[in-house]
Amino acid sequence: MFCFQCEEASKGFGCTTKGVCGKHSRTAHLQDLLVYLLKGLAVVAEEAARQGKPDPGVGRFVAEALFVTITNANFDDARLEARIQAIIARRDALKAAIGYSSDLDAVNWTGAPDQYEAKALVVGVLSQVNEDVRSLHELLVYGLKGMAAYTDHAAVLGFEKSELYDFMVAALAASLTESDIQSLIGWVLKCGEFGVTAMALLDEANTTTYGHPEITTVNLGVRHNPGILISGHDLKDMEELLKQTEGTGIDVYTHSEMLPAHYYPAFKKYAHFVGNYGGAWWEQDKEFASFNGPILMTTNCITPVKDSYRDRIFTTGQAGWPGARHIADRPEGGAKDFSPLIERAKTCAPPTELEQGEIVGGFAHAQVMALADKVIEAVKSGAIKRFVVMGGCDGRHKQRSYYTDVARALPREAVILTAGCAKYRYNKLDLGDIGGIPRLLDAGQCNDSYSLAYIALKLKEAFGLDDINELPISYDIAWYEQKAIIVLLALLHLGVKHIRLGPTLPAFLSPNVAKVLIENFDIKPIGEVEEDVRAMMAAA
Ligand code: FSO
Ligand code: SF4
């Protein structure tokens, strides 16, 4: 196997025997083949659209399939094999419908599951021998994976845009057929542009359906009822679980990236929606053991399941773990059936308390804009000298303590804007406030990074600036998986420069591709805490 799609790629190079994430070589191979064949389907879908006979569902189908291959989403080989078969079937049906033939192997290859690994070995990431072309192909595909997650979340809530699907299909096809460096750079930058559209669509879907996040205090302790823990990013699953558990005597807790569900008005009415349990995704093995009740993984960020909670873990949507019970998709017009979790919870002890206290969040764009006068005044008076965007992901690397140290070391006149699970490195610190504005403003999930861009654009307007880089905002972003890549490309599209990216730069950037990003956007690796804080406060 060879995989280097996430920040934890072994030795900063790539995982070659087993993933640091726990992915086995067969799973990695199945994912490689899945992506390869999906590119073949994209080529056929493009041709069908050219002929005026588009496959109407192909965009959503491609998005779901890409989402499955995001880091820590799905480790279930049987489901990956079924997905590969579905891709081949859809591709061949479409080919037949439009009478299309091609010399491209990805458009023609077909085989049985026992041939999948052998095929993957010759079509995986390293099959592209030119390291710059390979780097750009992968950067594009990882951006598309992130975009796929966003469009899938929006689609679940009934919000779709054909222009996004069309771009995803076209870009995926280009990642197979295009090898000109300049053209590929163009595709990557375009991916950022569509990334902004995808993030805006998801923001619209979430806020139209559940209201605008508002300032919320979230409890970190536990009560004495049995509980269900819900993790991942899917708010529709959150809604249906809350409805189905109401009145059952079971409490519902969020884990990791589901924490921001508490900020939505629509979920505040549930008295049994009691708090957040634990920290970021990578600490789940200990936390799931002590939670004592069933756990629902709605999207990515599953780590290898331990015996201590194996019989209590459930997956749904694109998430999967071999042997874990999978809650089936909702039937047309209906809801998912979470009764297996509810029945299981009734037999479980209440959660063991990990901590006490509260955290405050809910500073997505509408809430921050409601405070805009106060914020602008604080900037003008010098009470706030700098905003530091520290959004993104958390992960296992020891080096990520850098972000805790930066949060501590920033002077009192600095406000941190965050989104994503990166916040768990500093959201339990007492950072205080500036004239009533908390020094840590959490907009929500990584899926809500759009809010951070939106706030920056609104501040640019309010201060009458021409260039987003003239704002008193620095970017010190932590990345882990592919959703962070689409956020990064979206920020580049918005013209944001001087981003610090850590804890390490992506292994999939070849030296030449890294050079392009550095020369055009001044992207830089993180450095020493004191030096970075000093530089950011000095707008460098
Ligand atoms: Fe974190 Fe995981 Fe949200 Fe990522 S939970 S690491 S960018 O998948 O999704 O922020
Ligand atoms: Fe390694 Fe990350 Fe790929 Fe997992 S997803 S195999 S940790 S590079």
Domain ranges for the chain, please list them: 10-209, 216-346, 367-537
**Ligand 2 pocket mutation pick from 4, 27, 74 by most atoms within 8 angstroms of CB:** 4
From the CB of 207, is ligand 2 less than 6 Å away?
no
**Ligand 2 pocket mutation pick from 15, 29, 80 by most atoms within 8 angstroms of CB:** 15
Torsion angles phi and psi, residue 297, rounded to 5: -100, 110
From the CB of 424, is ligand 1 less than 6 Å away?
no
Binding site for hybrid [4Fe-2O-2S] cluster, by residue number, is 233, 257, 301, 393, 421, 446, 481, 483
Q: Are 10 and 20 in contact (CB under 8 A)?
A: yes
216-346 under CATH 3.40.50.620, yes or no? no
**What is the phi-psi region of residue 393: left when phi exceeds 0, alpha when psi lies from -120 to 50, beta otherwise?**
beta
From the CB of 19, is ligand 2 less than 6 Å away?
yes
CA of 9 to the centre of ligand 2 (A): 5
Mean pLDDT, the chain, integer? 97
From the CB of 4, is ligand 2 less than 6 Å away?
yes
pTM of the model: 0.98
Mean pLDDT by 10 residues, the chain (540 residues): 98 98 98 98 98 97 98 98 98 98 98 97 97 98 98 98 98 98 98 98 98 98 98 98 98 98 98 98 97 98 98 98 97 97 98 97 97 95 97 97 98 98 98 96 96 95 95 98 97 97 98 97 97 97
Distance CA 423, CA 441 (A): 10
**Ligand 1 pocket mutation pick from 68, 234, 421, 489 by most atoms within 8 angstroms of CB:** 421
Report the interhelical angle of 131-156 vs 162-177 (nearest 10°). Answer: 160
From the CB of 87, is ligand 2 less than 6 Å away?
no
How confident is the model at residue 374, as a pLDDT? 95
How confident is the model at residue 488, as a pLDDT? 97
455-464: long-range contacts at Cβ-Cβ below 8 A with a sequence spacing of 24 or more?
455/365, 455/368, 455/369, 455/417, 456/389, 456/494, 456/496, 457/494, 458/365, 458/369, 458/372, 459/375, 459/376, 462/372, 462/376, 463/376, 463/379
Q: In what order do the strands lie in the sheet with 524-525?
A: 440-442, 414-418, 386-389, 473-478, 500-502, 524-525
For ligand 1, atom 9, name the residue with the nearest CA: 446
Spell out a b/e string for 96-113, using b for 16 or more CB atoms within 10 Å of the CB, else e: eebebeeeeebbebeeee
Q: State which CATH number among 3.30.300.20, 3.40.190.10, 1.20.1270.20, 3.50.50.60 fits the domain covering 10-209.
A: 1.20.1270.20
Binding site for [2Fe-2S] cluster, by residue number, is 3, 6, 15, 21
Ligand approaching nearest to the C-alpha of 73? 1
* pLDDT per residue as tens digits for the range 274-318: 999 999 999 999 999 999 999 999 999 999 999 999 999 999 999
Torsion angles phi and psi, residue 72, rounded to 5: 65, 20
Contacts of 103 (CB under 8 A, 6+ apart): none
Q: What is the ipTM for the molecules in this complex? A: 0.95
From the CB of 260, is ligand 1 less than 6 Å away?
no
Q: State which CATH number among 3.60.15.10, 3.40.50.2030, 2.40.10.10, 3.40.50.720 fits the domain covering 367-537.
A: 3.40.50.2030
Nearest ligand 2 atom, CA 10: 1
CA of 461 to the centre of ligand 1 (A): 30
CA of 8 to the centre of ligand 2 (A): 6
How confident is the model at residue 449, as a pLDDT? 94
Identical fold between 216-346 and 367-537: yes
